[in-house]
Amino acid sequence: MNDFEALFGCPPAVTADAPGRVNLIGEHTDYNGGFVLPTAIPQRTRVDLAPGTRSSIRVWSRAIAKKADPQSYTLGEETPGRDWLDYIQGVTHILAAEGFPLAGFDASIESTVPLGSGLSSSASLTVSLMRALRSAFALDLDDVQIALLGQRVENEFVGARVGIMDPMAASLADEGTALFLDARSLSYERVPLPAGADLVVLHSGVVHKLTGGDYNTRRRECEQACALLGVPQLRDLSLADLSHVNVLPEPLARRARHVITENDRVLGAVEAMHAGDLARLGKLFYASHESMREDYQVSVGEIDLIIDLARAEPAVYGARLTGGGFGGSVVMLAQAGMGHAVAERIAQDYAARSGCQPRILVPELSAD
């Protein structure tokens, strides 16, 4: 008997999953209408689900609940403030509000995407759950709709004012390509990952939480900058407008400068990937991190230490903080065939210097 049957007394009717993501470049640009470049990672969230006929919903999570009993609530009586269960409640609340036919269900959740890692564990959860519900209740939902509804779950129910990148990546990205996404139009292109480089993702061991005040504060600051500059979104500005941006009061000038220059870096990164120019791509990674550290001010000392260690590695083309910041993970590009060795060296040196316990996520050096 598997966990689901032991918990709920019957086998699951459907199983669905969705990946976490690492953003190669384009941080804090999506909610400003800009460009992003994420790719899927091997770690995924899986949902096993059995539909019911009543309105009772029972959910169990291996990562969070461990051996505890399933959490439960009643469809139509969702109440924010129940920690991880808010993501489940948010999905059913939003789907019902949009007129999708739901009934009660039992669900178990298992994820290998580390929480607070900057790798979109929450979007991986909401997308995988909606995929399971789509199958169980024959919902007329396409992958882009799932992403848009997933964003609403976090914005409107959970209280994290995230952009569209994470749910779009969880719903549309794959491991072989980067998803070049225009967050305003939702148009996208899959760009092959560079054949001459290994992707490395190292979790710092410092956990972040996007529902905290700092993330939402950054978004408000961008909106304030737009109001002073007279534009709907920072996407409407280019490098030619930096002279106007630089006279804004601080920290608004810094915030706007990061978004404008980061959008330009994403476009440059796509060009570099198409051209196979790994040296240029690496420089853009480092420039992006400097902008996040100095202008957007979302890095922390532990992340900066990993970047410094990466700079000392001749086999590393570039490295940067990935995700919302205030902890989380670093993404690096290393010479092909060197990713394993580089990841191990940096992780060991970082652990010795910081006292933190890093985790190598890509390449997967050991089973979870």
Distance CA 317, CA 262 (A): 18
In angstroms, rounded to a whole number, what is the distance separating the alpha carbons of residues 72 and 94? Answer: 18
Label residues 333-356 b or e (16+ Cβ within 10 Å = b).
bbbeebbeebbeebbebbeeebeb
Decide if 166 is catalytic: yes
Q: Sign (positive/negative) of CA torsion 186, 192, 196, 199?
A: positive
Strands 105-111 and 56-61: parallel
Q: Name every residue whose Cβ is closer than 8 Å to that of residue 312 and which is 6 or more positions away in sequence.
A: none
Q: Are the C-beta atoms of residues 326 and 212 closer than 8 Å to each other? A: yes
What's the rounded Cα separation, in Å, for the pair 73 and 75?
Answer: 7
Residue of 309, 314, 315, 266 lying closest to 287 (CA atoms): 266
DSSP 218-263: HHHHHHHHHHHHT-SSGGG--GGGHHHHTTSPTTHHHHHHHHHHHH
- Label residue 138 exposed, middle or buried (CB < 10 Å: 0-12, 13-18, 19+): exposed
**Catalytic residue, candidates 166, 198, 277, 295:** 166
- Alpha-carbon distance of 150 to 332, in angstroms, equals 28
The catalytic residue positions are 166
